[in-house]
């Protein structure tokens, strides 16, 4: 009886060892830690998030701005200057200045507006969502981070147009940026 019990115990141990989990596929590049930014990938296919991140990467100068005035109505040109910087980890920094009466009140209250945060790209819809924005004025009053932005690259990827739109799909602002040559 003792020998039979030992044999059954050994068979159970071998069966359990044979069923232990292992890698489901051949190990490759390890996955990045969750919620950690990754630097740009150099071999991403066109149209992928990585490809769009490479298009955004760099320093951009504001060349035109249109906005719906506080009183409502159609978009009007706003005289402003600014810089947008998108780094290899998806961080976005915007520094801007305006005294134009057509700009939002909060934008005119500070000498230099500064915003920093994450830019999440939705490549299939060509949209950009600003996340965790901080700045020297309330980003909700000037940038409305809850609003999505459509992006469009033109002029050999040296010009970027960002169109802000509300929940109803109405475009409320359009900013045009030119890539700064390094």
Give the tens place of pLDDT for each residue, 18-43.
444 444 444 555 555 545 555 555 55
Domains: count for the chain: 1
CATH number at residue 130: 2.40.128
Within a domain: 104: yes
Tell me how far apart the alpha carbons of residues 124 and 82 are, in angstroms, rounded to a whole number. 28
Within a domain: 78: yes
Within a domain: 51: no
Within a domain: 136: yes
Within a domain: 41: no
Within a domain: 28: no
What pLDDT, in 10s, does the model give residues 89-137? 999 999 999 888 888 777 777 778 888 899 999 999 999 888 888 887 6
Tell me how far apart the alpha carbons of residues 139 and 92 are, in angstroms, rounded to a whole number. 13
**Helix, strand, coil percentages, rounded to 5, for the chain:** 20, 35, 45
Within a domain: 33: no
Within a domain: 139: yes
Structural domain for 135, as ranges: 56-179
Tokens found for residue 30: 């390890």
């Amino acid at each position: 009886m003792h020998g039979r019990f030992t044999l059954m115990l050994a068979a159970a141990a071998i069966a359990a060892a044979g069923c232990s989990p292992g890698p489901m596929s051949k190990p490759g590049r390890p996955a990045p830690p969750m919620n950690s930014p990754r630097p740009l990938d150099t071999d991403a296919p066109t149209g992928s998030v990585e490809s769009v991140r490479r298009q955004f990467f760099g320093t951009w100068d504001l060349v035109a701005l249109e906005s719906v005035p506080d009183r409502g109505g159609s978009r009007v040109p706003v005289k402003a200057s600014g810089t947008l910087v998108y780094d290899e980890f998806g961080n976005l920094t915007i520094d801007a200045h305006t005294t134009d009466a057509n700009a939002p009140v909060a934008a005119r209250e500070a000498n230099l507006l500064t915003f920093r945060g994450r830019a999440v790209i939705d490549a299939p819809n060509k949209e950009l969502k600003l996340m965790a924005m901080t700045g020297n004025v309330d980003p909700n009053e000037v940038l409305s981070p809850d609003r999505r932005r459509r992006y469009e690259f033109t002029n050999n990827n040296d010009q970027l147009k960002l169109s802000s739109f509300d929940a109803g799909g109405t475009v409320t602002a359009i900013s045009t940026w030119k890539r700064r040559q390094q």
